[in-house]
């Protein structure tokens, strides 16, 4: 089973990396970009078990290690 965890900054937190990408895209001539936000993608391959149990386990991983709840939020997809 594969869990895809997307960790992104909370909307209220400044994202200098995203701003830099935005500026780089504009200087390359890409018009119509309103905003860029940068985040992390963590793909975790898990052994067997049920989808519900996997989601719970990955939720605990996020709380303990993968995300910083002060400034980040996360979304988990199980495939």
Binding site for a second copy (CB under 8 A): 6-8, 18, 21, 24-25, 28, 30, 32-49, 57, 60-61, 64-66
Residue 76, classed as helix, strand or coil, is strand
> CB of residue 13 vs a second copy: minimum separation in angstroms?
14
Tokens for 34, please give them.
């309103």
Contact status, residue 64 vs residue 33, Cβ threshold 8 Å: no
Looking from the CA of 74 toward its CB, the CA atoms found within 13 Å total 24
> CB of residue 38 vs a second copy: minimum separation in angstroms?
6
> CB of residue 30 vs a second copy: minimum separation in angstroms?
6
DSSP for residue 65 = I
- Residue 37 or 55: the one with the smaller Cβ distance to a second copy is 37
- Residue 48 or 70: the one with the smaller Cβ distance to a second copy is 48
């Amino acid at each position: 089973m594969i869990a895809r965890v997307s960790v992104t900054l909370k909307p209220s937190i400044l994202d200098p990396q995203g701003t830099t990408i935005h500026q780089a895209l504009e200087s390359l001539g890409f018009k119509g970009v309103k905003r860029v936000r940068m985040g992390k993608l963590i793909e975790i391959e898990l052994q067997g078990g049920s989808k519900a149990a996997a989601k719970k386990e990955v939720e605990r991983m996020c709380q303990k290690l993968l995300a910083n709840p002060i400034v980040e939020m996360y979304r988990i997809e199980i495939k």
